[in-house]
């Protein structure tokens, strides 16, 4: 079996999710960096691999998977243990909902291409962009805080890391980078801190990637 290659970027939270999941499963992979700020994700060579021109893409031989939710589901199916989804259908749906809250409702509104469009197309100032980011992360975190209060234990769901933590930890990183006040979200912060103690999460952190600081 050919080795996995993760196409990403050190500060991409979507690529960060995939690194966490692979690390939790103990799956070896190589990384290829594409500097998003330099537009390398839109180079012809990369578009031949990933036609959407975004990271991450996960490549194994001639197979290329795109979009982090699909990639994480594939990882879970391919390497079932340790499980990133709980046992019952209801609990799986709750964990997937936590993940989707980040992947669908929060992250798309504060990723690089949206923020760049605010700056260029609408001439948004630095303060206006930061207000935008704070608003949408805050909206999502307000709902997520309630879900963790209901379903969380040591981690976002129960007492073991799940797919939800793979999404929450990178979004916390983004929130801190944009200087969002996290005091209204103590359960999210606690879940993130618990996950951050695990070696799988430490090894996935943007600051320790080979391309850290690029762009």
Q: Which pLDDT score is estimated for 2?
A: 78
Count other Cβ atoms within 10 Å, centred on residue 136.
17
Q: Is residue 1 over pLDDT 70?
A: no
Domain regions of the chain by residue span? 4-82, 89-200
Render pLDDT for 50-62 as a digit per residue (tens, 0 to 9): 999 999 999 999 9
Q: Across residues 24-28, what is the average pLDDT?
A: 98
CB 182 within 8 A of CB 176: yes
What's the DSSP call for residue 152?
Answer: B
CA pseudo-torsion sign 159, 162, 166, 168 = negative
CB neighbour class for 29 (10 Å; exposed up to 12, middle 13-18, buried from 19):
middle
CA distances from 45 to 4, 40, 42, 49 (A): 18, 9, 8, 7
Q: Across residues 186-201, what is the average pLDDT?
A: 98
Q: Which pLDDT score is estimated for 213?
A: 85
Top-level CATH class of 89-200?
A: mainly alpha
Q: Is residue 43 over pLDDT 90?
A: yes
Secondary structure element (H or E) that encloses residue 18, with its range: helix 13-25
Q: How is residue 90 written in tokens? A: 């209801």
Q: Across residues 108-124, what is the average pLDDT?
A: 95
- What pTM does this model have? 0.96
Render pLDDT for 133-191 as a digit per residue (tens, 0 to 9): 999 999 999 999 999 999 999 999 999 999 999 999 999 999 999 999 999 999 999 99
CATH number of 4-82: 3.40.30.10
Q: Which pLDDT score is estimated for 215?
A: 63
CB 158 within 8 A of CB 92: no
Q: Look at the block and give the residue holding tokens 């700056």.
A: 119
């Amino acid at each position: 079996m050919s080795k996995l290659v993760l196409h990403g970027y050190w500060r991409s939270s979507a690529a960060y999710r995939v690194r966490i999941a692979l690390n939790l499963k103990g799956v070896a992979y190589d990384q290829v960096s594409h500097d998003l700020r330099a537009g390398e994700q839109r180079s012809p060579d990369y578009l031949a691999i990933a036609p959407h021109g975004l990271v991450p893409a996960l490549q194994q031989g001639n197979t290329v998977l795109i979009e982090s939710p699909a990639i994480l589901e594939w990882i879970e199916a391919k390497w079932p243990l340790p499980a990133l989804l709980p046992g019952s259908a209801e609990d799986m749906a709750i964990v997937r909902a936590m993940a989707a809250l980040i992947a669908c409702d929060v992250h798309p509104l504060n990723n690089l291409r949206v923020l760049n469009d605010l700056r260029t197309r609408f001439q948004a100032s630095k303060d206006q962009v930061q207000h935008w980011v704070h608003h949408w992360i805050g909206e999502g975190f307000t709902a997520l805080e309630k879900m963790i209060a209901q379903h969380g234990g040591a981690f976002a769901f129960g007492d073991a890391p799940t797919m939800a933590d793979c999404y929450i930890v990178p979004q916390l990183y983004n929130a801190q980078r944009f200087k969002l006040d996290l005091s209204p979200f103590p359960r999210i912060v606690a879940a993130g801190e618990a996950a951050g103690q695990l070696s799988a999460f430490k090894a996935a952190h943007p600051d320790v990637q080979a391309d850290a600081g690029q762009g």
